[in-house]
Amino acid sequence: MAERSYDFLMPSVNFFGPGVIHKVGERAKILGMKKPVIVTDKFLETMKDGAVQQALQSLTEAGVDYVIYNGVEPNPKIRNIQEVKKLYLQSGADSIITIGGGSAHDTGKGAGIILTNGDDITKLAGIETLDNALPPLIAVNTTAGTGSELTRHAVITNEQTHLKFVVVSWRNIPLVSFNDPTLMLDVPPALTAATGMDAFDQAIEPYVSVDRNPITDAQCIQAIQLIEGSLREAVANGHNLDARTKMVEAEMLAGMAFNNANLGYVHAMAHQLGGQYDAPHGVCCALLLPYVEQYNIIACPERFAELADIMGENTAGLSTRDAAELAIKAMKQMSEDVGIPKSIKDIGAKPEDFELMAENALKDGNAFSNPRKGTKQDIIDIFQAAYDAE
């Protein structure tokens, strides 16, 4: 066996299961939080008995004061993290609690970054660029999901340039995360599908990443099998707690896997679509996934053949290459079953933007772990294939 060495990041404390939201106050108190900024959106804030109201009740019971920022947007922008920073400083806050999906957590991380590492976050894009600890951060997760509640990734959009960039640092990992599947029972089917496809992609990309290792492989395999067995049901019947529970477990496993093995061109390219057209991240990933992985097959056909098996396809008697092709077919089928559109033209993509987006995708922090090294033209061709899809 070749010599192997790697850092392995483990998220610190993660509460899981129905009702764990009630522990938010107690844990905030243990962490010494006196006045956290609650980072969320208006919809969640006003939802009766929703995640925010339950978390606030728990904080009140624990005697922890708070102030609320409810301006989280999809594809969080620099203006959002600046707004949180301003509120944090003006209100005398000492910590951050994010409540929502990936956008809330990334907004909270972004604000934390500029509070302690310098005001211009664009200068901090890249891998392990942060010198200072963020303010204490708790993440209460309500989608399954980006995994952002336990990963070191903060994805922010520069609204001036429409460029989405990633700050990847161990300092971004929330001190505590909460995954309570009862909070996900009312997530609408389209959002369940989009976030679920993000988790699916986040289990597939680390499985073929150049940074993979046996620990991340195990996490990816289990995540993919859980998603295969529960995403369709979670979309079809949102109130199935068993399906919701399995999807949360899957998104946590995928998050832990890509926290260590990283991602690939699907995410590098999806960030361009998301930044350019303000489209939902999970949908962008799902639209690109089969076309990027078709391109990647020749780099590691045996891994794709394994993926076909993991996804439950019958590969008996097939050549490695034919089994690998079956994996791509299974990815398309999953996407179709949960109602993802077929082509990136459905989210407003325009071929005249492909060149610039390809250039930027190759600079994205996720590009470096892709198993096949592409040229700008290769990336343009993948965008085109995802555009021509019918």
Shortest Å, Cβ 230 to Fe ion: 18
Min dist CB 303 to Fe ion, Å, is 20
What residues contact residue 363 under an 8 Å CB cut-off, 6+ apart? none
Least CB distance to Fe ion at residue 267 (A): 6
CB 219, CB 256: distance < 8 Å: yes
Of 41 and 198, nearer to Fe ion (C-beta) is 198
Interface residue list for Fe ion (CB under 5 A): 198
- Residue with Cβ nearer Fe ion (54 or 366): 366
Nearer to Fe ion, 54 or 157 (CB): 157
For residue 52, the minimal CB distance to Fe ion (Å) is 23
**Count of beta carbons in the 10 Å neighbourhood of residue 225:** 17
> Closest approach of Cβ 263 to Fe ion, in Å?
7
Helices in the chain by DSSP H: which ranges? 24-30, 42-46, 51-61, 78-91, 102-116, 189-208, 214-236, 241-261, 265-277, 281-296, 301-310, 320-337, 354-363, 376-388
Closer residue to Fe ion in complex, CB, 106/198: 198
Token reading at 173: 């990992």
Nearer to Fe ion (CB atom), residue 45 or residue 198: 198
With the CA atoms of 91, 93, 97 and 99 taken in that order, what torsion angle do they form, in degrees rounded to the nearest 10?
Answer: 0
Burial of residue 207 (number of CB atoms within 10 Å: 0-12, 13-18, 19+) = buried
- By C-beta, is 85 or 281 nearer to Fe ion? 281
Residue 113 contacts by C-beta under 8 Å, 6 or more apart in sequence? 81, 121, 124, 130, 134, 154, 167, 172
Least separation in angstroms between CB 169 and Fe ion = 17
